[in-house]
Amino acid sequence: MATELRELTPNESAKIGGITFPAKKEFLNNLKSDTSTSRYQALRSKISEHIKKNGSIEWVDGVFGDTFRNMGFVEDYIQTEKGICSKFYGCSCLFKGRLNREAIDSGATMKRVLMATIKLVFKHKFSVFFWALIHRKKAIRDFVEWFIDIYEADYKKKVYKSINEFSSFPQELVKSGLKIAQSISLEYPNVISEDYPKGKIDGREYRVKVEDLFYCLGSFFQNDFAYGSRGQDVLSNLNKEALLMNPRKEIIRLFDLALSRENQIKDKIILIKKIVMVALLFPLVKRLAISYLLELDLDKIKPDEADRYFLGRRESYNFGGKTYQGRKEETDRIDKENGNVIIGL
């Protein structure tokens, strides 16, 4: 979660991210690190100089792991071929993305609405699914339009506007979705709107709403690190040949893989699995899901060294099928070789 650290007066204190921090000078004095004192002091001086020069500094709580209190202070944001990356003081690895509190909070609200609605649907599953199976096309279209209404209410205003800002994994999710959306026929081919944010065809178009659906999907995985990292880990194991032979079996295998590696949110993954399995009962959804997964460039979504670094000290999920201890040792090695200084509390 990204937050701004204000420059405080000597007698002032501020509550940031649920923790009360003392004034700037005392705050910096209280920071701890397991690296050499000289490098730590040099890093502390750089952060202090940044605050003095800019009046504030953005920081991310817990970016280096979930087993100890740590903070990443943003030195700069860099546009790379893999999207916008955050450069933290004292760290040689670039973190993919620019964590935005407004986008995270808005996405969390949207997620709660969706989950609450889905749970309500499951309470009346027989009547709802019976109607949906009879009116398949209408049910799918109504769902897309309902989902987009929620997306446009707030979340759409908080997320990236350019696809080039996205990191590799969510960017590939969006690009593949946009290709799939092109198969949908236009209903208003002669109507052009300059008001549509991405400069596409009139917003009444069902194709546009489907494109927004995939744009929202990419935005969600971009801004929700927990789900984004898990999704990247699982989809990088997709077997396209197995998908073609038996789509349902391969998708179940991916969910089972996720559950075998999960240590924290198994109940939520089980719920998502149930939703997907029901959705695949619709032939149109099944065809689109297969086409979408086949469109993904797996080489572009596989975690790289920087991804593995920021996942190395997390116990909540066994990324790459590796234990926490094994991943931590590798991350510690990178810190040692590159002289990284991790700021803890």
Q: What is the pLDDT of residues 172-209, one digit of tens each?
A: 999 999 999 988 887 765 544 444 444 444 556 888 89
- Answer yes or no: is pLDDT of 135 > 50: yes
The pLDDT of residue 5: 35
Domain boundaries, the chain: 2-100+339-344, 102-301
- The secondary structure of residue 74, as a DSSP letter, is E
The pLDDT of residue 17: 32
Please give the radius of gyration of the chain, using alpha carbons only, rounded to the nearest integer.
22
Q: What is the pLDDT of residues 52-94, one digit of tens each?
A: 999 999 999 899 999 888 999 999 999 999 999 999 999 999 9
73 - beta bridge partners?
59
Classified as helix, coil or strand, 34 is: coil
**Could you tell me if 169 and 175 are in contact, meaning their C-beta atoms sit under 8 angstroms apart?**
no
Q: Which residue has the higher pLDDT, 36 or 313?
A: 313
Q: Compute the distance between CA of residue 108 and CA of residue 220 in angstroms, rounded to an integer.
A: 9
Q: Compute the distance between CA of residue 207 and CA of residue 181 in angstroms, rounded to an integer.
A: 6
Please compute the mean of the pLDDT values over residues 272-291 and round it to a whole number. 92
The pLDDT of residue 20: 30
